[in-house]
């Protein structure tokens, strides 16, 4: 009953036409997270080198946040959503990954790897007109971590495996009884 009276008072006070314009104004009020997300989209864009793109992702993590849907990442990864995730563990991850790195580029594909830290997996990137895109979807699909803290990649035909074969001497490892093969470096590059 109270809700009805308040609604009636609003109708009487504002008039029917003003209610709809008031709703339109309030429903279009800017969401602070949405505005911040738009700023992130302008800052986290592909760079002119693989290193710069990777370092930009590290900056995002160092700030204790992550967002899948940024132009810096491949389109499939971006489909995971634009929600801004925050966690102190992101900054910890950035510190661990802030290691001396090397880049191997072959045409439009690149692999960033960490010769001094075998436990850090490679980072896959590809070049578009806008710059170097981090291919997190391919990493999520092809990189597996083993129980010893290292990594291996699932076999198959994809450009990053070919680049890894040029960087490392890879040994084949059967991945269960399903016929899949994984590859891990035999030695340090």
> What pLDDT, on the 0 to 100 scale, is given for residue 187?
63
> What pLDDT, on the 0 to 100 scale, is given for residue 31?
53
Residue found under tokens 């290691």: 99
Sign of CA dihedral 57, 63, 67, 69: negative
> What pLDDT, on the 0 to 100 scale, is given for residue 19?
29
Q: How many helices (H) and strands (E) does the chain have?
A: 8, 10
Q: Global pTM?
A: 0.79
Q: What 3-state class would DSSP assign to 171?
A: strand
* Calpha distance 125→74 (Å, rounded): 9
- Which pLDDT tens digits describe the chain residue by residue (189 residues)? 433 333 322 322 333 333 233 333 333 434 557 888 899 999 999 999 999 999 999 999 999 999 999 999 999 999 998 888 888 898 988 998 989 999 999 999 999 999 888 789 999 999 999 999 999 999 999 999 877 778 999 988 899 999 999 999 888 888 888 888 889 888 654
Q: Using only C-alpha atoms, what is the Rg of the chain?
A: 24
> What pLDDT, on the 0 to 100 scale, is given for residue 32?
57
> What pLDDT, on the 0 to 100 scale, is given for residue 149?
74
Length of the chain: 189
* Complete edge-to-edge strand list for the sheet that includes strand 143-145: 143-145, 151-154, 181-185, 170-174
């Amino acid at each position: 009953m109270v809700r009805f009276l308040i609604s009636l008072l609003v109708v009487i006070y504002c008039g029917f036409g003003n209610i709809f314009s008031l709703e339109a104004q309030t429903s279009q009020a800017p969401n602070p997270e949405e505005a911040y997300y738009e700023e992130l989209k302008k800052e986290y864009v592909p760079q002119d080198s693989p290193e710069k793109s990777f370092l930009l992702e590290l900056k995002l993590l160092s700030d204790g946040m992550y967002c899948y849907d940024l132009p810096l990442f491949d389109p499939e990864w971006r489909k995971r959503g634009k929600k801004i995730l925050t966690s102190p563990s992101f900054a910890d991850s950035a510190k661990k990954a802030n290691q001396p790195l090397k880049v191997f580029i072959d045409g439009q594909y690149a692999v960033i790897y960490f010769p001094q830290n075998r436990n850090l997996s490679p980072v896959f990137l590809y070049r578009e007109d806008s710059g170097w895109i981090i291919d997190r979807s391919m990493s999520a699909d092809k990189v597996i971590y083993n129980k010893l803290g290292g990594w291996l990649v699932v076999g198959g035909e994809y450009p990053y495996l070919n680049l890894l074969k040029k960087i490392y001497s890879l040994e084949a490892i059967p991945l269960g009884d399903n016929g899949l093969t994984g590859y891990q470096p035999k030695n340090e590059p």
